[in-house]
Amino acid sequence: MILAHKIALTPNNAQATHFARAVGVARFAYNWALAEWGRQYEAHKTDPAQPKPSQAALRRQLNAIKREQFPWMLEVTKNAPQMAIIQLDEAFKHFFAGRARYPKFRRKGLHDRFTLTNDQFVLDDSRIRIPNLGWVRMRESLRFTGKILSTTISRVADRWFVSISVDTQDLSHLPKAENQGAVGVDLGVSALATLSTGEVVTGPKAHTALLQRLRRLSRSLSRKQKGSANAKKARTRLARLHARIANIRQDALHQLTTGLTRRFPVIGIEDLNVAGMLRNRRLARSIADMGFFEFRRQLDYKSDLRGGQVVVADRWFASSKTCSCCGHVLESLPLAVRTWTCPACQARHDRDGNAAFNLRNYAVSSMASACGGEGAGLGGNARVKPAPMKQEVSAKATYG
């Protein structure tokens, strides 16, 4: 199983400058290859005798011209431009498979990173050796044992991190999920998650809490002269605040998903159309502040690691409008209505708690059907994410 451990670095000024150069080289190589890919692809369409573009050919082409045209690329590791072109090839594979949009040019300051293969760096306890640079201190040592595959050095605001991918068989630090049965989880805006057990997780709402400070720093940056030292300082302060908001949100989601996968072997959730929900201009900011997509991503891989199962109800499953006592389904239930009384059995329901309980029943019913029993589900199509039967099944998780 492939796991990734993300660790903060503590480089000095010279090392941070070298990292920035390597990131710039990787970004330039990616953008150069993307432009060349488009040009060669159009030439092939016009004249089929011309070869189709490929990452191997583009790498050879760049190696042939970089000493004369781009000599500054030789100041950093050769992996920086080469791995960037390989990543572009992966992006095109996802595009042609219909899993992603056409690759875009990389921008400075946005997802700055470069990647090294396992033969280009050395780990020694709490430090890492980078080609053309030397040893750089890490905040902690690598947690996992196994075959080291690659590492990616990235920048968030003014901090540097290293993410080390390890192929490991040792998952002893993650015991199996406790046998507390199944749980339904209903995600919301007023509360991050409502569980079928009655627990309500409010969530930090970091962006909302720090919105005034965010606006103030944004105004401060807009008033600075572009390219000045003061503008650079203001941009760094704003980036730090954005990173703080993301860290607060990530911490809350990690605590919630770790607790759920540790306690419950079966978890029922809804397949939310997050992209569609974000088109609602009145709720988009609050929805984005909760991190629904990140919640599901973490829940999926953590459940796999602990041998649990995530049951995903169809997005048209009426979890809120269905009475969890008798199964009666309302014709409509406006979003402003938070409590309602079932006209069939007179049971009074909290909207979110009722939805969570229906998702719990749906997960139990789907699991019974998957195991050969007779399910008593309330309709819809469930997608059960099974636990891996062997440790050789590939899954990728990021810690840190």
Written as one string, the DSSP assignment of 38-73 is HHHHHHHHH-TTSPPP-HHHHHHHHHHHHHHH-GGG
Average pLDDT over residues 228-245: 95
Residue 213 has pLDDT above 90, yes or no: yes
3-class DSSP assignment, residue 260: helix
Residue 379 has pLDDT above 70, yes or no: no
Q: 286 near 335, Cβ under 8 Å?
A: no
Tally the domains of the chain: 2
d(CA 131, CA 120) in angstroms, rounded, equals 6
Q: Which of 270, 289, 300, 304 is catalytic?
A: 270
Average pLDDT over residues 202-228: 94
Average pLDDT over residues 91-116: 93
Average pLDDT over residues 213-241: 95
Q: Is 331 in the active site? A: no
Average pLDDT over residues 23-35: 96
Q: Is 186 in the active site? A: yes
Question: Is 227 inside any structural domain?
Answer: no
149 with 188, same domain? no
274 with 143, same domain? no
Q: Which of 186, 289, 300, 304 is catalytic?
A: 186
Question: Is 173 inside any structural domain?
Answer: no
Segment of 80-84, 307-311, 344-348, 374-378 carrying the highest mean pLDDT:
80-84
d(CA 326, CA 316) in angstroms, rounded, equals 19
Question: Is 42 inside any structural domain?
Answer: yes
Read off φ and ψ for residue 307, nearest 5 degrees. Answer: 75, 20
pLDDT at position 282, please? 86
147 with 187, same domain? no
108 with 154, same domain? yes
92 with 192, same domain? no
273 with 367, same domain? yes
d(CA 288, CA 277) in angstroms, rounded, equals 9
Question: Is 17 inside any structural domain?
Answer: yes
Average pLDDT over residues 333-359: 87
3-class DSSP assignment, residue 33: helix
Neighbours of 387 (CB within 10 A): 17
More confident residue, 95 or 321: 95
Amino acid at 177: A
Residue 317 has pLDDT above 80, yes or no: yes
The two tokens of residue 153 are 């050095």
How confident is the model over 121-162, as pLDDT tens digits? Answer: 999 999 999 999 999 999 999 988 889 999 999 999 999 999
DSSP labels, 269-319:
EE---HHHHTT-TTTHHHHHHHTHHHHHHHHHHHHHHTT-EEEEE-TT--T
Q: Which of 112, 289, 300, 352 is catalytic?
A: 352
Percent of the chain with pLDDT over 70: 92
Question: Is 264 inside any structural domain?
Answer: yes
Q: Is 374 in the active site? A: no
55 with 160, same domain? yes
pLDDT at position 55, please? 92
pLDDT at position 397, please? 45
280 with 153, same domain? no
Residue 18 has pLDDT above 60, yes or no: yes
More confident residue, 285 or 175: 285
Question: Is 354 inside any structural domain?
Answer: yes
Question: Residue 318 sits in which domain range?
Answer: 182-203+258-399
pLDDT at position 346, please? 84
**Residue among 363, 391, 390 at smallest CA distance from 377:** 363
194 with 341, same domain? yes
Boundary residue ending a domain (167, 192, 215): 167
Mean pLDDT of the chain: 88
27 with 106, same domain? yes
**Rounded to the nearest 5 degrees, what angle is found at the Cα of 292, between the Cα atoms of 289 and 295?**
115
154 with 43, same domain? yes
d(CA 245, CA 239) in angstroms, rounded, equals 10
Assign 371 a pLDDT band (cuts: 50, 70, 90): low
Assign 316 a pLDDT band (cuts: 50, 70, 90): confident
Instruction: Tell me whether strands 2-8 and 396-399 are parallel, antiparallel or unpaired.
Output: parallel
Question: Is 250 inside any structural domain?
Answer: no
Instruction: Tell me whether strands 159-167 and 339-341 are parallel, antiparallel or unpaired.
Output: unpaired
What secondary structure letter does DSSP report for 74? G
Percent of the chain with pLDDT over 90: 61
Q: 102 near 69, Cβ under 8 Å?
A: no
Question: Is 238 inside any structural domain?
Answer: no
Boundary residue ending a domain (111, 143, 167): 167
- Catalogue the E-assigned strands of the chain: 2-8, 113-117, 122-123, 127-130, 134-137, 147-156, 159-167, 182-187, 193-195, 200-201, 266-270, 309-313, 339-341, 348-350, 383-385, 396-399
Residue 98 has pLDDT above 70, yes or no: yes
pLDDT at position 382, please? 55
Assign 190 a pLDDT band (cuts: 50, 70, 90): confident
191 with 314, same domain? yes
Average pLDDT over residues 12-20: 95
